Structures are given as C-alpha cells and as structure tokens.
Chains A and B, each alone.
Chain A
Amino acid sequence: NAGVTQTPKFRVLKTGQSMTLLCAQDMNHEYMYWYRQDPGMGLRLIHYSVGEGTTAKGEVPDGYNVSRLKKQNFLLGLESAAPSQTSVYFCASKPSGKDTQYFGPGTRLTVL
C-alpha cells in the first residue's frame, strides 16, 4: 500500500492564481483531513470529510474549498491564492471507529 500520497510536492504560485492539491489514500479510510502547518506552529485543520460526498469546515477554512467525489481522493482548492496561504499542507486519513490519523508527506506551497 502507498498509504496517503499528495500531489504536487512543491508549488510556487503568484498572487491571484488558482490551484488544486490532490490527496489520495488506498486504505479505504472514511475520514480525510486537510491541515496547514506554519513555522513554529502546530497543524491547523482547514477542512475535513467524514465520507464520500461530504465535507465540513475546520478551524481555518477561509480561502479554501474542498471536494470528496471519490472515497479515496480529497481535493483542496485555492481559488485566488494569497501570500498568507504560503504554508506546508498536509493531508491525513483515518478509518471509521479508529482514532489514529495517517499523514501524507506534505505539499510545500509558496505564494508570491
């Protein structure tokens, strides 16, 4: 199993550009999460999903949208990137009824 994978690994955007980050998991997990990590800070939850076709807002959802059309994929979209969205983005998943989250390797995004 590949576990949780994220695409791309690195990306540089200009202010106002849009992009989509892809998270894929091959563990048949129901729950999926998107976090951002900024220097000196822990992870903050952006959006999450408790199952295919469902999404919900986390702690810092503004400026982001998500979709979970397939159980194995969770997409994070930035419609109009801002420098404040420069961060490392992590995706995680977990099975229903369990507590441990499994993390992807991260995507480093820079917005100029």
Chain B
Amino acid sequence: SQQGEEDPQALSIQEGENATMNCSYKTSINNLQWYRQNSGRGLVHLILIRSNEREKHSGRLRVTLDTSKKSSSLLITASRAADTASYFCATERETSGSRLTFGEGTQLTVNP
C-alpha cells in the first residue's frame, strides 16, 4: 500500500509564481525525501528532511515536516518553465530499514 498521498495530483501555474505540493503519510518515519521526475526520465533527489527537523531550505526549495500531522509540504519559489516535472515524496519508515515508500506524485506544469 502507498505510504504517501500527495495533493494536488496536478498543478498548473505561471512562471514566477510559487508552487506548493503536499504529502501525507501514515506511519512513523526516519526521514522524508522529495524527488523530481522529468517526463521519460529517472528520479532525481531534491531534498531530505529528518523526523526531528521542521523545515529545510535548498535554493528555491523549502520543505516542511509536521510529524504530529504526518504531513510535509514542498514549496518551489519563483517557478520556471524548467521546473515542469512530476514531484514525488518518499518516506523511510522507522521499521523499513533503508527502503523508501513513494507517494503517487504531483504533476507540476509551469507555463511560460
């Protein structure tokens, strides 16, 4: 079963706007990661947040984690057409060792 549920499933915005994607999960985790997938390509790691962290930044990316609500959000600021891709959250559960469980993804389209 899928650990993560993401919303929205699809998001369409204009260049320069911010994009926010949300991820919810069900069981206790060690960390939560966000990956990006361009059409027809493999996944690329974007950012990781550990269970004892609440917020992390990396360039135009900001990720938050609320373990009490079992949810995370990924914010991409000042979006660009090149940000068009699918974005997946993945959780490493406390009981899963080094395995990740992926959400169903959010398809982001940034219109020029």
Contact = CB atoms under 8 A, between A and B. Distances in A.
B42 A90 contact: yes
Contacts of B104: 40-42
Given A42-B2, A106-B41, A100 B99 contact: no
Contacts of B102: 35, 42-44
Interface residues of A, number: 25
A45 interface: yes
A94 interface: yes
Given A42-B104, A99-B31, A104 B98 contact: no
A102 interface: yes
Nearest to A43: B102
A42 B103 contact: yes
Interface residues of B, number: 24
Interface in A91-110: 92, 94, 99-106
Contacts of A100: 33, 45, 48
A44 B101 CA distance: 7
A59 B48 CA distance: 22
A50 B98 contact: yes
Contact of B42 (A48, A58, A94, A105): A105
Contacts of B88: 42-43
Contacts of B43: 43, 90, 92, 101, 103
7 contacts: A40-B104, A59-B101, A90-B43, A99-B31, A101-B100, A102-B45, A105-B42
For the complex of A and B, 8 pairs with smallest distance between CB atoms: A42-B102, A103-B42, A43-B102, A103-B43, A100-B45, A42-B104, A105-B42, A42-B103
